Amino acid sequence: MPRLNVSPNSKPTCSPLWLFCVLLGLLSRHTHARVVLAVPKQLSLSPNMSTQQLSISWLGGAATTFDLMILRTELNETVFYDTVSATMNPVSGRHQWTWTSVEPLQCTSLSIQIRSRDGNATSKWSTTQIHPGNDLPSYEKFQMYPEEDIVPVGANATYCCILPENKLFGDIYYGNTVMNATRLSRRSYAVTIFHQKPSQRSGTNIFCRDNLKSDLTGSVVFVGYPPLLSDFVCETHDLNSAVCHWNDKRDTSLYGKRGTVYSLNKRNCTFDRLWEKHKQCTSAQWEGTWTLVAVNRLGQYSLTDSAEISHRVHPVAPINLSSVASAWNATVSWNWIYSSYSSLDLVCEVDLTSQWSKTNYTFSGVGLMSVVLLDLHPDEKYVVHVRCGAQQNFWKWGNWSKPFSFKTKTFAPDVPNVWIWMNRDKTGQIIWKPLTQRQSHGQITGFEVTLCNSEENCQNTENVSADTFAVPINFTQVANLSSDSKATATVIARNAAGLSQPASVAIPLHLTDAEPLAVSRIVYSNRGFPLFWQNNANATCGYVVEWHDASCVRDCPVEWIKVAAGITNALIESVNLQPGVRYNLSLYSCSSELLQRWQGYLQELVPSSSVPHLLASQQDSDILLTWGEIPLIRRRGFLLGYNIYSTNGSQLTLLANLSDQGSRNYIVKGLSEGSYKFTVKAYTSAGEDTGATASITLEPSSDWMILEILASLGITALFLVVVTFICYKKRKWVKTAFYPDIPEPKLPGDWPRTQGPLDVKPSPNSMVHIVEKPEWGSSKEVLVVIPEEDEDEDGQAMGDEPADTDDLASLRYYNQAVDERPIRPRFPDSSASSTSSLDSGRTDVTYTGIQTSGSSFLFQLNAQGSSEGNKHQADMSDSSEDGGGGYKPQMQPSAPSEDMGLASSAQPFLEPQAASMWGYKPQCSWNLDSPEEADEGASLAPSLGSPTSVASTQFLLTDGEECAEEKRLLSSSAATWFTNLLSSAKP
């Protein structure tokens, strides 16, 4: 509707023209609003079940856009609603639009409505047109759609299941997988498969079951690819027709009636093996340009090629090969299946193979059909292949012919390779290497060995078998053949074709005992033993290098090579070389003169055995270790030395390293006594062997033992001499300290010797106390009997125990000062005890109750201590120098007492007799002090006043006969010098 433009500067006017315009505009607008769009009519539906497309057409007036609505009829669910543009057929005046359904069109009924649209204005909806599905009650079968489907890899596809009436839905399987289903109608259910993978050759099954799993239905889905081709090319074999080749770049996974169909220039191609990737199609005539089209249910692919026929010649394989062979060459011929090759310029390749080699020959020519093969070997089998190509505008080699074999003829053998081995006992062998198949030129039937002198006078020809390669020889016997010490050995090989040329080797007839050549060590490299030497003017015919196992010494298996004159190096390699084996390598001139020697190992290893005969022996305070030499065959490398270890359990302590492999002993020094264990290990550059162990116990040396004994004896003798000397010089002190004089009783009067104290150790069973009463005079002393029971070991009184009258009452006297003590009587008439006293010049002894050897004496003490007994004083003098008897204890049995007398009428005390007891024999030097005293005591006993010995009741002075006997015994007792020393006379 036209608009009214009003300018802001204009002024409104109420003219009739303006009002007319307004009224006209309102009328025009009202008229437009009342225009009604035509409703589409005569809807027509045309389904395509294979593509799941529904073509819709209708009559709709002048509108170009339409609203289209599609619903599932039974559930009234909207499937599609959109505004579409449809083109009108000018002839029929109908509009048409195609809709592609996600579900197969058979799954459920669809209701379609259309209305016209012009901007926001729309017409009414058309009459509903229904596309009937297979879920109508009239279809009572169990159905699955689509029944067979072909989809590309990775696509999504929907499948539906329609159940029969009165059946309930169970589940839908895709292969072995249960899918989630969507209900489309009362009887129809659908599932959607996303991103499908290539199926098997038979496809993938999809099936539906009811809830009772009693019935099912299904379909097959084929998932694959559209065709994809590569390497399309056409060529000719017969110079007339064409053969085109191509490759399937990928497998479509579709086979049979669903497989790919090929056409070449719109002519179908047939194949025997569709699954093969490489395919070809022929054309009867060369067309120059070819188009290949490949089609399957998922798509198509095409390729194009063009060329001239002369540029695409691919000859076929030759046929009917044949040969004509001699010993050293052969002619090979063949045929072609196409006669057109006779004018074709060809280039052919001949591949020749034998047991030992493979050779390729190239020949060319027009219509080539035969070739000559040179440089063959006699008595050898060959296999030949032939292929050809166009020499002009070469395209590619043709196919190989089938293999063809032939054999050359035999020929005389090659010259044998001869050498000589010499033992040290002037014997040896003529040896030669076996001829190889190429060297023998036929089966070897034997060898002829001949010895010749310098004048070519040959004799002693020996025929040996074909498997013999050595003949023993005695150089002493061969020397008789030649006067100039020159001889040769000749070896000739023989086969069916004839004899070989003779091979000769010089025989050294005079083996000298000159100094052997120095042996050099050589190291194996990556390929072999590299040898170098100085050129020798005498080696005009060349050199020979031989090598063998160094442990072999007689008739050894030897390998050798011959080196031409002027060459001064060689690389020795052999498959027979073994690690851990020492090899001797020797260089000879062609006249068998030894020039140089080497030794080496392919690979050094640790010794295979330990050092033998390891012994440990003692040498004074050292230990000597000795061992034997490891055999050469067990060394497995150059010995660099020995390691000596001290073994403590499993721990090894290195004592020494002997880098001189020739030294096989070692002295271990500075060891103390004990057990030791030693281990000796030999080593090479590869390491140590397992080691040998020896044990030894280190004992004191016998020489040192003898020296120690002699030293001990000498020290002992010296000590005795020193002690004797000291004792002699100090004899007075020794006598006083170890053998003091026995103290003697002191008698008043002049005596020739100085009086000494009597020092006697108290007896444990008797005591004599010298007591001094204050009321007595100093010259009066009394000897009181103290019973044994009154004192213990320490001289203490024991108490008032009953006295045993059967015991012997013994007297004891002490050389000590007299001390008056109260005397406790044992019985009412017992004597009181006293203490002995020592005066500076004498000892006073009081004798009471003293018995002789023949009788007992009784004595009585005053109960008040005032009564006096008989007392006698006697001085004991030392023995005189003229043999006078001193105080010498003698053992003598005491005579039993026959009767006893009482000294007074008071209470008696009986002194028991010492019967059956040993006592002291009396001394011979005792005399009465004076005649008066003797007279006074005569009434008592002849020996009254004599001192008694310790533990004895006998008088110390006896008869003269006993004194004489005592003197005789004393004179005979001085037997040794040491006794005389200790008992030397007093001064």
Token pair recorded at residue 188: 């129809």
Please state, in angstroms and rounded to a whole number, the distance separating the CA atoms of residues 673 and 550: 46
- Amino acid at position 35, single letter: V
Name the band, by pLDDT with cuts 50, 70 and 90, for residue 620.
confident
How many helices (H) and strands (E) in the chain? 9, 59
User: What does the pLDDT average to over 707-722?
Assistant: 90
Structure confidence by residue, pLDDT tens digits, 461-480: 889 999 999 999 887 777 76
| β-pairing verdict for 216-224 and 148-152 | parallel
The pLDDT assigned to 839 comes to: 39
- pLDDT score recorded for residue 80: 95
Q: How far apart are CA 362 and CA 161, in angstroms?
A: 72
Q: What is the DSSP letter of 672?
A: P
User: 239: helix, coil or strand?
Assistant: coil
Residue 387 reports pLDDT greater than 90? yes
961: helix, strand or coil: helix
Could you read off the pLDDT of 208-261 as tens digits, one per residue? 999 988 888 999 999 999 999 999 999 999 999 999 999 999 999 998 889 999
Minimum mean pLDDT range among 63-67, 456-460, 591-595: 456-460
Q: Quick check: 953 pLDDT over 70? A: no
Compute the Cα dihedral for 161, 164, 165, 169 and give only its sign.
negative
- pLDDT, mean of residues 734-757: 66
Structure tokens at 156: 């999504």
pLDDT of residue 798 exceeding 60, the answer is no
Q: Are 584 and 517 in contact (CB under 8 A)?
A: no
Q: What is the mean pLDDT of the chain?
A: 76
Residue 3: CB partners within 8 Å, gap ≥ 6? none
In the prediction, which pLDDT does 225 show? 95
CA pair distance 698, 669, nearest whole angstrom: 11
* Confidence at residue 972, expressed as pLDDT on a 0 to 100 scale: 43
193 residue type, one letter: I
Residue 541 confidence (pLDDT)? 87
Residue 693 has pLDDT above 80, yes or no: yes
Residue 792 predicted with pLDDT over 50: no
Amino acid at 163: L
Is the pLDDT score of 669 beyond 70?
yes
Q: Which of 92, 89, 67 is nearest to 78 (CA)?
A: 67
Residue with tokens 């072995």: 176
Helix (H, G, I), strand (E, B) or coil at 587: strand
CA–CA gap between residue 719 and residue 795 (Å, rounded)? 43
**Please, what's the b/e burial string for 794-826 (b: 16 or more CB within 10 A of its CB; e: otherwise)?**
eeeeeeeeebeeeebbbbbbbbeebeeeebebb
Pair 404, 323: CB distance under 8 Å? yes
pLDDT tens, residue by residue, 824-870: 443 334 333 333 333 333 444 444 443 333 333 323 333 333 333 33
910-917 mean pLDDT: 35
Specify the residue for token string 């169990």.
142
User: What is the mean predicted confidence (pLDDT) over 193-222?
Assistant: 92
Position 924 pLDDT exceeds 60:
no
Phi-psi region of 367 (alpha: psi -120 to 50; beta: other; left: phi over 0): left
Determine the Cα–Cα distance for residues 926 and 876; give it in Å rounded to an integer.
7
DSSP 427-493: EEEEEEPPPPHHHHSS-EEEEEEEEEETT--EEEEEEE-TT--EEEEEHHHHHTT-SSSEEEEEEEE
Average pLDDT over residues 63-69: 90
Cβ 53 vs Cβ 97: under 8 Å:
no
The CA distance from 920 to 888, in Å, is 8
CB-based burial of residue 947 (10 Å sphere; 0-12 exposed, 13-18 middle, 19+ buried)? buried
Which are the contacts of 834, defined by CB distance < 8 A and separation ≥ 6? 769, 770, 771, 772, 782, 783, 784, 786, 818, 820, 821, 823, 846
Residues 6+ apart with CB under 8 A from 505: 418, 419, 420, 430, 488, 489, 592
pLDDT at residue 871 tops 60: no
**Average pLDDT of the residues in 554-582:** 92
Q: CB neighbours (10 Å) of residue 463?
A: 12
Q: Is residue 580 scored above 60 in pLDDT?
A: yes
Q: Check whether 78 has a pLDDT greater than 80.
A: yes
Tokens 């609203």 locate to 67
Going from the C-alpha of 852 to that of each of 261, 770, 848, 946, 960, the distances in angstroms are: 171, 20, 12, 10, 16
For tokens 């106390």, the residue is 769
Least confident stretch, 8-22, 41-55, 275-289, 946-960: 946-960
Which tokens go with 621?
């305070």
Number of CB atoms found within 10 A of residue 503's CB:
19
Q: Choose among 721, 834, 711, 854: nearest CA to 768.
A: 834
The pLDDT of residue 62 is 77
Answer whether residue 86 shows pLDDT above 60: yes
Cβ atoms < 10 Å from Cβ of 724: 13
Question: Which tokens hold the place of 24?
Answer: 């006209």
Cα separation of 504 and 415, whole Å? 10
Phi-psi region of 467 (alpha: psi -120 to 50; beta: other; left: phi over 0): alpha
User: How far apart are alpha carbons 592 and 596 in whole angstroms?
Assistant: 12
Could you give all domains of the chain from N- to C-terminal order, each with its CATH number? Answer: 41-209 (2.60.40.10), 225-311 (2.60.40.10), 319-407 (2.60.40.10), 413-511 (2.60.40.10), 615-703 (2.60.40.10)
The model carries a pTM of 0.52
Cβ–Cβ < 8 Å for 531, 542: no
